[in-house]
Amino acid sequence: MLPRGLFVHGMRSMELPLVALTGAGISAESGVPTFRGSRGLWRDYKPQDLATPEAFRRDPGLVWDWYDWRREVIADCQPNAAHRTLAHIEEKIDDFLVVTQNVDGLHQAAGSRRVLELHGNIWRLRCTHCDYGREDRRVPLPDLPPHCPHCRGLMRPDVVWFGEALPRAAMEAAWSAAANCRTMLVVGTSAVVEPAASLPREARRNNARLIEFNPARTPVSRSADEVFREPAGEALPRWWARMGAGKRR
Ligand code: BV8
Ligand code: ZN
């Protein structure tokens, strides 16, 4: 009888629960610019300068132009093999959760259902005055900056800006998943933005096995049990196929 929480296929096994922590790098091969790295700049703005409540207060039109432009870029992007692999893992393994820093919605577009969005979602808008919010996928948005149909208040992207607290429920669930997982895949993140960057450390503190998928070194690399120093779109499907489960239909 296998111990609970062991995923076995052929000669390979992996301890469960399994968590995947993803960052902008998993969407790079889909054409979504990352925040850092050579093509990391969004136009010529630093995310830290525009993804803040102060920038929005100072110039909501500029911040909305930036988000509207990002939405237009992302609208043409499709999930890649890395997103699809995580969705396939969810089909095969019950004890699996995706925790993402990304706001592009590509995990859900690939079929993942168990997804924790730590930093919100660029396709949602919310009112700065009342509790009205909606998903709105129109690109470009018909009027910028958008106003609330209920109170005429200014609407904002439903994302977490620098200096803002993460949604409490999502952060508590992510923290608990990191503390209780036995294996964590760390995919496409520079692991510098807190508190998300502390999740791999929390998993490690509980002796989880860390597997990193990133062409570049990160603060996670030195404590990872296994590192795939290559694009996630290539390495993640290969790793999953090597686990043998990629082949099962
Ligand atoms: C908070 C949504 C407190 C918006 C984002 C000093 C020290 C420590 C912390 C701080 C500090 N000063 C300020 C802070 C806190 C701050 C922070 O961490 N700052 C950093 C810059 C130091 N954090 C915050 O402000 C957070 N809030 O702390 O609140 C609080 C508490 C209570 C009450 C009030 C306040 C909020 C952080 C969330 C900010 N929002 N996004 C939007 O998108 O517009 S962050 C945004 O940037 C992303 O969501 C993501 O989290 C981050 C970028 O990181 P990555 O995803 O890793 O992307 P990056 O481009 O950096 O790296 C890509 C990686 O992929 C690279 O490693 C590359 O090699 C790799 N890659 C490239 N291609 C591929 C690949 N990998 C695989 N395959 C490929 N093909
Ligand atoms: Zn309102």
CATH code for the domain of 101: 3.40.50.1220
Taking only the tens place, the pLDDT of each residue in 158-189 is: 999 999 999 999 999 999 999 999 999 999 99
174 shares a domain with 150: no
Mean pLDDT, the chain, as a whole number? Answer: 92
Report which protein residue has its CA nearest ligand 1's atom 11: 194
Q: Dmax of the chain from CA atoms?
A: 62
* Residue 38 and residue 44 in contact, taking contact as beta carbons nearer than 8 Å: no
> Does 127 fall in a domain?
no
**Mean pLDDT value of segment 2-25:** 83
Could you tell me if residue 111 is inside a domain? yes
Question: Binning pLDDT at 50, 70 and 90, where does residue 243 land?
Answer: confident
**Using the 8-state DSSP alphabet, how is residue 52 labeled?**
S
pLDDT at 247: 47
Q: What is the mean pLDDT of residues 36-41?
A: 58
pLDDT tens across 187-225, in order?
Answer: 999 999 999 999 999 999 999 999 999 999 999 999 999
CATH number, position 51: 3.30.1600.10
Q: Which domain holds residue 208?
A: 1-32+79-119+166-249
**Residue 249 confidence (pLDDT):** 39
Based on the residue annotation, tell me whether 129 is a catalytic residue of this protein.
no
pTM, two decimals, is: 0.95
Residue 131 lies in a domain: no
Same-domain check for residues 244 and 185: yes
Q: Which residues of 187-214 are buried (b: 16+ CB within 10 A; e: fewer)?
A: bbbbbebeebbebbebbbeeebbbbbbb
Q: How many domains does the chain have?
A: 2
| 82 pLDDT higher than 90 | yes
Among 49, 193, 214, the mutation site with the greatest number of ligand 1 atoms within 8 A of its Cβ is 193
Q: Work out the percent of the chain whose per-residue pLDDT is above 70.
A: 92
* From 42-46, 90-94, 117-121, 168-172, the region with the lowest mean pLDDT: 42-46
CB 30 within 8 A of CB 80: yes
Instruction: Judge if 172 and 238 occupy the same domain.
Output: yes
What number is the average pLDDT over the span 24-34? 94
Set 83, 88, 107, 119: catalytic member = 119
Q: Which pLDDT does position 146 carry in this prediction?
A: 98
Helix spans in the chain (H): 47-50, 53-58, 60-75, 81-92, 106-110, 168-180, 199-205, 232-242
Q: Which residues pair with 185 in a beta bridge?
A: 20, 211
User: Across-strand partners of 226?
Assistant: 211
- What lines the ligand 1 site, CB under 6 Å? 23-25, 28-29, 34-37, 40, 47-48, 51, 101, 103, 119, 159-165, 188-190, 192-194, 196, 213-216, 218, 231-233
With a cut of 90, say whether residue 11 has pLDDT above it. Answer: no
Please tell me whether residues 142 and 237 are part of one structural domain: no
Q: Pinpoint the alpha helices (H) of 157-198.
A: 168-180
